[in-house]
Structure formats: structure tokens, C-alpha cells
Structure 1
Amino acid sequence: MALALLLEVLIRQQAVAESEGQRANLLQSRLADALSSVQDGVALFDSRDRLVTANDLYRQFMAPVAEVIKPGRLFQEIIDAEFERGVVRQECEIVRSGKLADHALPSVQGCEAELFDGRWVSINVYPTADGGHLRILRDVTGRRQMNTSLHDSLAWLRGIMNTVVDGIVTIDDSATILSFNAAAERIFGFGADEVVGRNVNMLMPDPYRSEHDDYLRRYAETGEARVIGIGRQVKGQRKDGAVFPLELAVTRMNQGGLVTYIGVVRDITDRKRVEDALVESEQRFRDLAESASDWFWELDADLRFTFVSGRVRQVLGVGPGYFIGRSFTDLASSCEDPRDWEVQQSLIRARRPFRGFIFIHRMTNGAIKFVEMAGRPAFDPEGKFFGYRGTAADITPLKRHEQELATQSALRQAIIDNMGQGVAVFDGDERLVALNTQARQLLDLSENDIETEMSTLEGLLLYLAVQGEFGRSGAMMTKVRRRLERLRRNPLRVFEHARPNGWVLEVRSTAMPGGGLILTFTDITDRKKVEATLREAKDAAERGNRAKATFLANISHELRTPLNAIIGFSELMKHEIFGPVQPPAYCSYVDDVHESGMHLLELINDILDMSKAEAGMTDLVDSPVDMAALIKASLRMMEKRASTNGVILLTDLPDHLAFLRADERRIRQILLNLLSNAVKFTEEGGTVRVTARVEPQGMVIHVADSGIGMSSEDLSRVMEPFVQADTRLSRKYEGTGLGLPLTKALVLAHGGSLTLDSIPDQGTTVTVVFPPERVMGERSPENGEADESWRRG
């Protein structure tokens, strides 16, 4: 009997154990299913800090150490593996120690970290009743991006507040000043640090000062407004005590439980002066607080809600009873997009997990909430379907942000579609973010050819290359890479592109702040046709000028041939090469013949140079010119004539005068003409001074004499060919009247300028300025070889 009783007890204990095991397995299965449908990464540790279970999403977050996350592993082993394999970016030993400390003493506050793949997660640790810990990782990348956008918007708004012309003052419901922008400082004379934290009535004269607090209190109690939401003219008081009229508009803003009043003030003492600079600024503050509360739900085999966690009341304002007993199909009428419901139905009929199903919930106050659901099918140990389990989250802030972005994108597209130019906008990663209608028309692109936000700069160029936009010959990829490299190397470019259909486009490339590129396309086909017509007319005119130049060259050649004989033979006779000239009186005649021949040759050369200059055919052979040496050489050539006339030559040059990129022969001609005129028109005992300096406007050369000078009427006349000022010295010396006009033409050919300043009987100063781009650095042994290479081209 004792054995029978013992056997009966053992049989009963085994039955109880099997029942408890089945129940534990069922609970374990339900826990695993619930964790698999949760949109967070979840890991459960027991009281000995050993991993009990972790869902797939937790392993996805910790992908580099996924093989380490196994039941039974110590929490410290997992943390050490995360640290060694860089799961968290920029994690140091101090951060790792902090994780261990947070795990030992869990805090609901948690922390946020950036993972190896660029995602951000919030990490929260919760104690369990059995002494263990629950570690939850939530993807907060979207919220971080929205926070970044919010911070940028706030910085933008602060920038506006500090640049608007109107003063902006914000106060709380106790009339304490919260902010005071730069314009308000200028209007009232107070610095922001002098007023922030003090009562706003310090900016008002009596009796407004004493009445303001009572008015604010009365408005809070009754809602009666005298300024708020209306605006009016009031009196203000500056720091120096001066009372002045101002225009005040006050707006009340409720942000959570905080009431803020925003006052916009405008000094209207001199209304006409401020009207031209008036900038109205509207301040908008948005509450981007995003609820992070998720809740759990369960459906039975008939797809009716059997369980909803209590957190639903905090977000949607309804209790769990609102959903209990309702069919999941009731959400069809609330589905954001009817097409999404069809997809959802197919997933549920197939008993497959789902994620991202969104329905709309209208709250009792009329507000709309967007709810995103995720769930997994539940099966009993025999594989029989008995419902769904999952989570739901409020994504209203994210949906509103998406709607705002869509609105801004549509507005941006509408703006650029109405532009007369074609516009293509690429972001910092060279993705196409905007392409207007005009660009599609100019490049023959349809909506199906290039889709915005699905193409790149390289893709667009490759498509155009395939269409033969860059010619049919050569390798397409080579053409694309070459153009792509040019745009990357120098994004600020303007060039012309001839299309196969005969159109000519002007393409302007501009870099965007913060990265990116804007390409604009302008149809300049008609302009190019006009340019071609003008070019043909110009060519015809140039042909006429060349005919004139040819005629002058031929005439000069015909004149020079007899002149060379006259000059050559007279020079032989002058130097008595073949014996003395008899009688000796003929020597003076030979000198006259030689001098007249040289004078006539100089006249012919000047006429030919002048005709070339007028036709714009002056040929320049640029090379580095040592201006200091050239000026000194020119002065030496004029020393004999100057000493004959009793004129003193002076120079004022710096120790190291820069080189000039110019035609050395023409520069010498310019200097000799100016020095010859200065010596010619300076009386005995006078001076001629040459100075040269490098200034911001370029190289400046002054040739100043103390001669007879000219009147203002003569200054305008002497720049005309064959015209001389009618002075007593102009009659003493011969001249063609071509010196100054030819000199000016040569200066202009170098891109410079020539000006005259003169006072009768006091002297004349000629100023020649060569542009900065022709000024070179000082010559040195190091750059001598480069100069020689530059001369050879």
C-alpha cells in the first residue's frame, strides 16, 4: 500500500510538472511573438545579468555582434564585444563603463547613441520584478533628423530676429522680458542684458508703466484685449528718458502650458525714413514634440481586439474599451490610403507579419492622429492560428513633417516651373532634386526619361550622351566622365552648348551653399544668330580696313624706296666716304638733304602706325619688360637733345620696379614720343621729370615738364591726328601732330589709359596707366627661366 501511495504521488507530481512546462512554453512562445512584433529592439537579462531572450530587431541593431547575443551570455561580455567591434560610433572606455553603470542602476531617462550604420537609437534599461533588467533600443533616427531641422529653423528665425528692422520683444505672462533683439536695442537704447529678466514696463513712460501689469492681469482673467491681436500706436521710453511714439503689435502664443507674448515695435518718429526699410516679420513657433509612447494590442482568431494596453489613453485620448471587441476590419474606413488596406488584407489572409499599416484616428476635440501598427500572427503549439499580436505608435508629428515637406517641394517646383530658364538642382550627393518644365523642353526630356530624386548628375549626363547630345563619335563614358570631372573641379562655370537640333544653350553652373549644384539653361539661339550677323558685318568692315592698311603699306613702300636712296646716298656724301665734297659749301646742302629725308621717313612711319592703330591692327609682341631699364635707356637717348635745348632730365624710380608684360618696342616708342614732346616744348633751364610706381590701378608713369603748357581748349585738340597747339614753340619746331594720338593709341592697345593735365606757362603732365593684369612681379634668378619660357610661348 505504501508503494502504491508513493507511486500515485509521483504520477500526480509528474502531471503537474508537465502542465507547468506546457504553460511555461506557452508563455515563452507568447513572449517571443510579442517581442518579435515590437518595433523596438528588446533584450531581457535575468538577475545574474545573463541574457534570457532578445528579439530579431535587437540583433539587427547589434549586427556586428549578433552571433554573441545568445541566451546565457553575460551582459558584460556582450558590451565588451560591442566595444571591440565598434557597434557604437566614437565609443570610448568611459562610455562603456557608463553603460555598465546604467545597467547596474537602471534609469528610465536612458541615453541616445549613433550605431555603426549611421542610425541613432535611444537606450533605456528597466528593472524587472525578479531582479533582472529589460534593455530596449528604439530607432530615433527620424526624430534626430527632425530635431536637427528644428534647430536649423530656430537658428534661421534667430537670424531673422537679429536682422529685421523692427524691434521684437517677448515676455511671459508675468510681464518679464524673455528676449530683446538687436533692433529693439537700437530703438530703446538698452542692451539685451540690461532688460532681459526685468519687467517690460521699464520701456514705457507713465502712466502706461503703472497700468501695464493690471492690464495684463485683466486680460488673463477676462480675455479683454486692448493691444494683443489688435495693434495700436503707443508711447515708448528710451534709456536716456526720451519719450517717443511707436507702433506696437502684440501676439499671444500658447506652447504647452507656457503663455508667451510677442511684441513687435516700430519707431515711427520719422515714418518716412523707416518706410523704405520696413520689413515685416512673422514669427511662428511649432511644437514638434513627438510622443514616444507605443502600446500593445492583441486580436483573436476572428480578428477582434481582445487586449489593448493602457498607454493608448495617453496618446489617443480613449481607453482600451474603445477597441476591445471591435473588428480589425473596422479600421478599413480609417485607412490613410484605400490601396494600403488591400495590401493589409492580403497579408492577414496569408497569416503573414505586417509593419507600417497606418490608420487615422479623430479625437474628440477634432484633432487627427496618425497611428502606425505592426503585428505578427500567433499560433498555438499545434500550429493553429489564434490571432495577431503587435504594437501601435503615434506618428502624427512625422506625418505632418512629411506633408510640410511635400507642400514645400510642390511650391518649389511651381516656382521653378514658372521661370524662363531651364533649371536642374542637385544636392550634395549629386542626386537630382528638382528639374523644371523649361529644362525638360530645352533638353527634350519627358517625365518618364528622367525622374526627380531617382537620378543623379552622372545619370543625366549619361542619358544625354546616349541621345547623341555630345556627338555620335567617341566613347560615351569618357565624354560623361570628362564633363563630370570639369563640373566637380570648377562648379562655377558658364559655357555654351550646341544641341543636335541646332539650338544653342548657355549653361551656367553654380555651387550651392552646403554642397550641391545648380545648372541653368538659357536658349541663346536667336542671340547667336544676331551675333553671327554682327560678326559678318564686322568682318566686312575689317576687310575694308585691311584694304586701307594694304593701300597705306604699299604707298609707304613706294615712298620708302626713293627715300632710302636719298638717305643712303646723302649719308655717304655727308661722311665723304669716296672723298671730300667740293666745293665745301655743298656739305651743308647734303646735311639738309639727309635731315629732310629722315624727317620724311619718320613722318611716313608715323602715318602708317596711326592708320594701323585706327584700324585696330596694332600688333603687340608681349614679353616681360624691365620698365626701370627701359625708362633709363629712353632718357639716355634724349640726353643729347635735352642738353642742346638746355633742359634737365630727372627720374624718380623705386629701387625695385616691377616688370610689365608688354611690347617692348611699342613701350619704348611711347616713352620717346612723350619725352621728345616734353623736351621740345620746354624752354632752356626747364626740367623734365619721369616717375613710375605700381599702384592699385596698375603701373602708373608720369612725364612732367615745366614747359609752356596748354589751355583746356588745346588739351582736347592735341589728341586729334595732324593737330598741334598753336603756341610760340610749336612754330619754332616742326611736327606732324601725330605724336600724342599715336602714343595714346599704343597705350590703349595695351589696355591702358593716357591723360593730360596742363597749365599755361607752368607745364604739362602726361599720365599713362597700364592695367594690373599686365604688371608682373620683380624679376629674380628663380623666375628668369620661367620668363624665357613665357617668351617662347
Structure 2
Amino acid sequence: MAKTQSKKHSKASAPDTSSAAPVPTRVLAMLFTAFAGTLGVKAWEERTAQNDALMAQQTREAMAIGGYVRSEVLRSQTAMNVILERSTRIGEAKKAAKLDKISRTIAQQDDAEAILKNENHAAIFSKDINGQWWEGLLPLSRLTPTPEGEREFDIFSSSDISLGAKVERIGFSRKISACAPVGETQLSVCVSRNVELLSIADYNRLLIYLLLLLAPGLAVVGLVGTIKTNARRLGHESEARKEIETHWRELEIGGQNGYWTWNRQSGLFSLREKTAEMLGLVPNRDLTIHEFQELVHPSTQNKVVSELDRARRDKSFQVNFKGNGSFSSRYFEMQGGPFQDGLSGIISDTTDRVRAEARSRISENLARSVVDAYPGPFAAWDQRHRLLIWNKTFANIFNLPEHVLRAGASYDVVMAEAAKQIRIERPISGSESGREILLLSDIWLNFYDRPTSGGGLVTVGLDMSSLKNHEQSLLGKEKKLRRLVLELDRMQGQSEEHARKYSEQKNKAERASQAKSVFLANMSHELRTPLNAINGFSEMLIKEIFGPLGDERYKGYAEDILSSGQHLLDMINDILDMAKIEAGKMSISTREIDPVDAVDSAIRMIRRRAEDKDISIKLDVSDDIPDIEGDHRAIKQMVLNLVSNAIKFTDAGGAIKVSITKENAFVRVSVADNGIGIPKKDLPRLAQPFEQSSADESRNSKGSGLGLSLTKSFAEMHGGKLILESELGVGTTVSFLLPIDPPQKNKTQKIA
């Protein structure tokens, strides 16, 4: 009987496992299936990455072979050009360029260095010394290196083949092929090779994935057994909560943590000594919920209250909060959960951790700003060559999609995707990790992979497009220069002949100029003598010295004769003066004079002509005009020329103002009118001999066109200059500057 009661007691004290939740086998099966699917996707991604890497490698090899082919084409074409541009020795050109055949052609191939002629030959073109085009057939077997292993090289026309790389499955193997253009030719080179469909590495990878798939299966079986075992070992709720209390106390002892409890019945918080010390309170003091909230900063009070309310419903919690009052610069973390008739947990001082995280965020933001500010592509990788950080230029320049360019992405995967945008890639001489690449967007980069001290990797790129373009320009100019050297050799003899002819023509021109001067000197006397007689007799007729002429019309005719003769005499004098100036024989005799006297004398001489045309002339002189070193006759002639021009191009009723002012070391004489003005296009040429304005083609402006030219020459002979300003329809102002001190006395004086 005692034994029976003992057995019943033991059964009553054992935990009831019959009510335990059944093992979630269906959920475990779904997890196992998801893991198997993930391994399959991973295997497919690695196979795709392997194909991308093979295509990138094949593309780089195609680019390298393309460069080799282009160098062979340029070598043959250069050899052919050098010989044909000097002579027409076709046999020598064929031998030097290693051609199978060379023949004359009509087509001029200026747009391409070479084209595909047939399945065995490429055609190159060149001009001979006579400008005739020749076509050379270059065997394709010479353009590519000898294949090694299972590689195959083929050359096609650029219009018949598509560029890039591809993978084709042929039976139990894969064919990797890539095609690349050959410089500025119409050729494209293709490189292909066969790879096993499944290699030993693929079989090893498959075996590893099977082991990885079996491992979680075994783990699931063990987990089910563990769950069943633990279900049998579960005790009463009081024992579990004692373990929780032990856990919190152990945490308090092990670090900067403080233990607390909350009693559901009294509603009070009990704080251990370390907890009270952290919060700045008296040890072993009980607090109400409201008093405890006052220890929390207002910005985080709601979050703490919400978590405590959730914990009252038998939920574990963890919340971070900021201290209040004198502890507002401190940060804490509160953890807890159900315990007996209330809650218990720990409070940890996390101030150092929060500040460290803030500093880390600042450093990370600073690093991100520096990386984004770098103008070229930039990326950083960790010890396992997984992507850590990159800038926008790295993503944009290689056109990388978001699903590839992400944190944690493999270096090989990212660079395989970037290789799709690379047209040419070659190592940089003198650099172990640098390479020079040309993108499909015609951007040249110097690309470097630099190891870091922590075992990581930094990838940087420098844009060298402008330098490369300049280099290509220099190569083109060098080629043109070689041709020019040959052309200069041929032109040297012609230049010597031209120099001899130029010397002869120069001597003829000097003799003609001398003959012109002699002619003008002789004609001066021959022209002036009869003109003086004509002017004198016509003036006698006008004044009726020997009695009346009879008919009044005779007097009018005599006035016309006198006016025409004086005009012709003025023109002859201007032409002779200009001839003397051009011959360098014109000189002025300077002395100390009052410039106002010369200007006033000229105005008095020409005032009658202005009054006859109903034009007023006004002289305006400043008070500070000094004496200058000048030629009285030349200054008077300059004023006569300018006022005469003003009268010609000013209508009746107009006004002319002559002003004399002092400007720094110069005296300015200006003649301003309100006449028809001068177009802006005529201003630059009016100071040249025999040039006249086109402002009014219908106006009969008699003259030789030498007035402004003579005035300009006289002003420059004094050391001054002529200034011409005009606006069409408003008027014209012509000024000349005369230095107060002659140039030989003050050579450093400049016109203001």
C-alpha cells in the first residue's frame, strides 16, 4: 500500500508534458525547403558570376588582340606610306610592308586605316608621290599571334559582326567568345575558346552544397529531439522565475548594471544600491511609478511608460532612455520581464556606448562626404573583399545596377559587372596594381586597387580623358608632321626660286617708286606754273582790273575757273605732300609757338567759305593753354583740312565748333560739326590715303581723300595722334593731340 502511494506521489510531482505544444514539423519542413532553395539560388548566382568573369576575361583578351592587330596594320601602312610618298617603287613598298599584292585603285580610303578585302586578306591604302592611290593586300595570318591552347582568333568586317562577349552551350562544353573593334579600321577581331560544361571545381562545389543541405537536416532532427527532451525537463513556473532573477543578478555582478524589482500589489520600484547610485538616489529606496518617471528625460518618458505597460502584461522588454535633471547628459538601458508577483530586471549605464556610436556616425558621415566629393570612381572593401562604401561616380561611370552595387557585395561580382562597360583594359607600366581602361562612353581611366593596413582594399580611378585626347591629337599631328617634312623638302627648292623672284620684284618696285618721286617732282613745276597763270588771270577777270567784261555771265564763268583752279592746286599740293611723307622726305620745322595763333589763323582763312554756305564757326579756347614746340604751318594746315571737311559734310544752317584744351602733357585741338556723320564701318579706313566716307553717295564732296591722312601724318610727326569719332546722322568730331614737350626732350611722355 505504501509503495502504491509513493508511485502516485511521484507521478503527481513530475511535470506534465502531455499538454506541451507539439513539435512544429511543418514549419521546420518549410524552413528546410527555403534553405535548399537559397542554396540553389546561390549556386546559380555563382555560375552566372563565373560566366561573367569568363566573358570579361575573354573581352579583355579580345581588346589586347585588337591592339596587336592595329599595330601590325599601322606598321605595314607606315612602311607603305614612307616609300610611296618618296617614289613609285611598288616592289620595294610591297616588300617593306610584307604585302601579298599591291595594285592601283581609284577609291580614296581616307576614312579607315584598313578594310576586310576577302576571307584571307585585309586592304590598306596609300598615296604615291604623284597623288595616285594604291591598294595593298595584307594577309590576315600575319595580323594575329599564334593561338595557344584551345583559343581561336578570327578577323571579320565590323559591319558583319556584333561586338561584346557571349556564352554558348555546345554539347557537354561551353564556348566563350568575344569580339572587339580594331582602332580606326573597319575590322573586328574575335577570340573564342571552349570550356567544360562542368569542371572539377563545379563537382566540388556541388558536393559542398549537398553537405550544406544535409547539415541543417541533421540539425532539424537534433532540434526536434532537444525540444522533446527540454519539454520533459521543464519545472514549475516558480523555478523558472527564480532562474530569471538569478540571471538579472548575475548581470548586475558582471558589469556596470543595477538590479531593480517592481511589486504589482504595492506598485513600488525597489532599487539596489548600484542602481540608485547610477540614478543619483539614496540606496535601497522605494519609488512610485510617477517618481521613477521623473528620473527619465521628457523626450523619452513616453517610450519608457509604454514599455512598462507592455511588461505588466507578462511581456519582456528593453528600452533606452536619457537621464533627467543633473543626469541629463547620461544615457541608460533598462531591461526586464515578469517575475513572481511583479517585474524585475537591470538598468545599465550606456553613456559611453551612445557617445561612441555618435562619434562613429559623425566619422561615417564625414567619410561619406569625402568619398562623394572625390571626382573619380571610389570604392572600399573589407578583409573578405566585400563592398563597404562607394560614391555615385563609381555607380554612374560603370552603370552598375542597385542589385549588384550594395553593401556586402563581392569584389569579383561588382567588377565583373563593371567589365561590361570596359572597351579596352591594359596594365600601366611601372605600377603593379594599376591598369588603364577605356569605357564604352569614351572615358579613359587610370584604375588602381590599393591594399589597406587592415587587410582591406581601396579602388580609385582617375579620369584621363583629356590627357588621352591630347595624346591622340599629338599622334595625329606627328603623322601630319612627317608628311610635311617630305613636303618641305620638295618645297625648299621652290622657296629659293620664290625668294629670287621676290628680290627682283622688290628692286623693280623700288625703281618704280623712285621714278614716281622723280615724276611728281617734275610734274610739280609743270602743273603749278599753268595753274598759277589760270588762277591769276581768272582773278583779274573777276576784279575787272582792265575794265568791265560786258556780259555778267563772263564774271560768273571767271569765278568758276578760279574756284576749280584753286581746288586743283590744293589737290596737287596734298598729293605732293603725301608723296614726300611716304618717301620719308617730309619734315617739319618746330619752334616754340602759341597753338591758338595757328588755329585762329586757319579759321580766319576759311570762315568766308563757311559763311557762304550759312554755317557758323565758333572757337572755344581754355585758359590754361601753354606754348608748345610745333610747326605753325603744319598746325594751320591740319585745322584747315579738318574744318574744310566739316564744311563739306554739314548742311546749310549747321554749326562747327573748334575747341582747344589741355589734357595732361598734350594740347587737344578738336573740330566738331553736326553734319551727316560717318558710318562706323568707314571709320577704320578714313585715315588712309584717297579714302572717303560712303555716308552720302549723292553728295558732291570734292576732294582727293588725303585731308585726314595728311592731318594724321602731321600729328604723328609732332609726336601726337589723330582721334576720329562720329555717329551717323548726328555729327563728327575729329581731334589731334600735340605734345607740349617735343619727343626728343621727353621720350617717356605718353598720350593720355
TM-score with structure 2 length normalisation? Answer: 0.30
TM-score with structure 1 length normalisation? Answer: 0.28
Larger relative CO (CA 8 A, sep 6+): 1 or 2? 2
